[in-house]
Amino acid sequence: MLNLLGEYNCKVDNKGRMMLPASLKKELSDVLSRGFVVNRNLHQQCLVLYPYAEWEKLSKKLNGLNRLIKKNDLFVRKVMGGATKVDLDGSGRILIPKSLSDYAAFAAEVKVVGGGSTMEIWAKDNYEKIMSAEDVDIESLAEDVMGDISFSDDE
């Protein structure tokens, strides 16, 4: 099971290629050969990089939705629409499609953030802005999200 952690400053070259941080590549060594899927984040102006096996899990759930139901059809289209398979090139870089890089407002510097089984890729300025936002009461958010979860080893 993947447990991708950390924040990494990376550069995107003028062709849209980004080098994965060495420590993440090491963590991903067992899954690198299958590649990745990059897509828009549904909630923020950033991208999500899924190891291919993680994308397959999500895709299987999406394929199980009845597309004759309008909201399911819309949801699947929104999620699958930008999804793009990407592989590491010989230099260890991935090519971010221009439409996705435009969506995330990438400049030359990006922030790659480990998120458990996936990674987020942010325009560095946008990430710093959202992480320093004072409109989020992290104490209340932690209570709302994690308050009912037990951390005992018995579960």
Q: What is the CATH number of the domain that holds 102?
A: 3.40.1550.20
Q: pLDDT class for 43, splitting at 50, 70, 90?
A: very high
Is 71 inside a domain boundary? yes
Residue 105 domain boundaries: 7-146
In this prediction, residue 89 carries a pLDDT of 92
CB 47 within 8 A of CB 41: yes
Does residue 153 lie within any of the structural domains? no
pLDDT at 113 over 90: yes
pLDDT at 24 over 60: yes
pLDDT at 142: 85
Phi, psi of 56 (to 5 degrees): -60, -40
- The pLDDT tens digits of the residues spanning 84-105 come to 999 999 888 999 999 999 999 9
Q: In the predicted model, is pLDDT for residue 155 greater than 80?
A: no
Q: State mean pLDDT over 34-56.
A: 95
The arithmetic mean of pLDDT across residues 26-38, rounded, is 92
Residue 2 forms part of a structural domain: no
Beta strand pairing status for 36-40 and 47-51? antiparallel
Residue 154 lies in a domain: no
Number of domains in the chain: 1
The proportion of the chain whose per-residue pLDDT surpasses 70, expressed as a percent, equals 99
Average pLDDT over residues 118-132: 94
Residue 57 lies in a domain: yes
Answer yes or no: pTM beyond 0.85.
yes
Strand 109-114 and strand 84-86: pairing? unpaired
Residue entry with tokens 């924040």: 7
